[in-house]
Structure 1
Amino acid sequence: MKLASVLVAFLCMARMDAATANSFVVGVEEIDYYPLHSYANGKFSGYGRDLLDAFAKQSGHSFIYTALPVSRLFHTFLNDNSIDFKYPDNPSWQADLKKGKAVLYSNPVINVMEGLLVKPEKIDQLSETSIKSIVTMRGFTPWPFEQAMRQKVNDGTIRVYQEDSFRKVITLGMTGHYDAVYASPIVINYYLDEVLHKPGALVFDRRLPFESNDFSLSSIRQTDVIKQFNEFLEKNQPLIMELKRKYRLTDKSVQ
């Protein structure tokens, strides 16, 4: 009994030490969206990881990264206290799920263009009325569509196919069996150039709907840390630019 009491006391002290050490859990997307962010082979990497690690090091915090599928991550973040922060996040994403939730967003850490990419021979050939099929990552929603196009998605006139692997999304897009791929051209171009070695196999079509998304760090409970993170972003612009150059995020050709 005495040993049990000692163990209980030790565990309580360990939990208190962990709390005072400012250790937080960051929920991240279990997808390979490199170079923006990636969770592959049990490791979180990319621009988002480097930026969050730099903030943690400078502030004295410790981040533990937990990866979940995109849709499940939203539900867990909003309804389960096991996650302190979500990255990336945006007020427009899953807005219906967030109703009644006091989510605080950091200042943007990067602005990302997302839209439709097509095979080169289809560039400027498609329109909002002629698109019939799109392939994208599971949990992604083609937000830039106007209400009329969203209605077509909802009623099945425009079919949206979702895959768990981003590599599979790109491969399917390259077959020509789908009209377009919905994603960031930054990610598409990286995969085509560095992974598949097929540069230009898909092309960003600016005549089709696209949008500019801010990626932020969000939290429901750790609002003070979000404020600290905003200060970090404001005071460390040279570091942020260095990280963007490291991951080729300043190259306008990828947008």
Structure 2
Amino acid sequence: MKPVRLCLLSAIVLTPGALAQTYVVGVENLPFYAPHYHYDAQGEYRGFAREVLDAFAADSGLTLQYKPLSAVQLLSALRSGEIDFKYPDSPHWAQAQKAGMTLHYSQAVVDYVDGVLVAPGRQGRSLDDVRRLSLVQGWTPRGYEQRIDSGQIRLDYSDDLRQMIRQALKQDTDGAYFNVVVATHYLDNIRARPGALVFDPKLPHTRGSFHLSSSRHPQLVARFDRFLGERAAQVAALKDQYRVEANLNSEYLGLEQWKVDFLERRKARNQP
């Protein structure tokens, strides 16, 4: 079930007895996007994103409220001033829908890779062999637009990651397009099917970064950038803790950790 409640955070106030100013952060209401973010049984926003934003609020003496909305609602809410910030965001997303808006983006908070996960037996096949892709509603499979427009690839949409993964595991489609770290985390830790689908780096995929955006508070976006710089070690520790960039820049992207450890040990043994 999609969360509808407002998640509240009371941040540390730097001046004793003073009331911190409150800002609303619009966040995506995807039920599962761990380890970046997710919602617990009480509908509370959790995960790496929450911890980074909480730390920023505490560091700056602010109070943040987290408001879950759909991707379409988030942009509309940002435009109307219903929310003060949007996370995650990117200057490369929804450019047509953002026309006429003045948006201020933070530095990159965390990097990501979106790509296609396939059954192990299909890994390494040609793009010509991809005829049907599983996709979560609202996502755009970058690098596949031409083939989709020409009818060479058909899209099968799902409401969320769980449904999409089920579809791909049954091999009703040739692969599932999603955030590679998130899909792998789900397969390894939630579905308990490690390795059932694997990232295919030979197929088109996209690298990018998550940013914090605002149309009304450029000075706070600048303050957030200072926080990322001054607290770089703290943010890096959170990345390691949540494994949001796990093997992102290595040949092991999308592999479960035990297999990475095994391959590294084997490589070490084979070195002269």
Question: Which of the five TM-score ranges fits, normalised by the shorter chain?
Answer: 0.7 to 0.9
**Structure with greater helix percent:** 1
TM-score by length of 2: 0.80
Which deviations, in whole Å up to 9, do the C-alpha atoms of 1:163-183 show, x marking residues without a partner?
A: 222111111111111111111
Tell me the percent identity.
Answer: 33
**Equivalence map 1:162-181=2 (5 Å):** 162-181=157-176
**Separation in 2, partners of 1:250, 1:133:** 28
Q: Which residue of 1 aligns with 2:152?
A: 157
Q: Which residue of 1 aligns with 2:263?
A: none
Tell me, yes or no, if structure 1 residue 70 matches structure 2 residue 71. Answer: yes
**Separation in 1, partners of 2:158, 2:74:** 16
Cα–Cα, structure 1 residues 57 and 88, in superposed 2: closer, same or farther, change >3 Å? Answer: same
How far has the Cα of 1:152 moved from its partner?
Answer: 2.9
Q: Which amino acid aligns with 1:130?
A: D
**Equivalence map 1:86-125=2 (5 Å):** 86-125=86-125
SS at match of 1:238: helix
Name structure 1 gaps, 5 residues minimum: 1-19
Q: Does the 8 Å CA contact 2:102/2:215 hold for their aligned counterparts? A: yes
Q: Which residue of 1 aligns with 2:61?
A: 60
Q: Which amino acid aligns with 2:20?
A: A
* Residue of 236, 247, 251 corresponding to 2:246: 251
Q: Does the 8 Å CA contact 1:116/1:208 hold for their aligned counterparts? A: yes
Q: Tell me the C-alpha RMSD between the 2 structures.
A: 1.6
Runs of 4+ in 1 over 4 A off after TM superposition: none
**Separation in 2, partners of 1:94, 1:72:** 13
Q: Does the 8 Å CA contact 1:70/1:138 hold for their aligned counterparts? A: no
Q: Which residue of 2 aligns with 1:3?
A: none
Q: Which residue of 1 aligns with 2:132?
A: 133
**Separation in 1, partners of 2:175, 2:198:** 9
Tell me, yes or no, if structure 1 residue 43 matches structure 2 residue 44. Answer: yes
**Separation in 2, partners of 1:126, 1:74:** 36
**Separation in 2, partners of 1:88, 1:130:** 33
TM-score by length of 1: 0.85
SS at match of 1:64: strand
Q: Does the 8 Å CA contact 1:39/1:67 hold for their aligned counterparts? A: no
Q: Which amino acid aligns with 1:60?
A: G
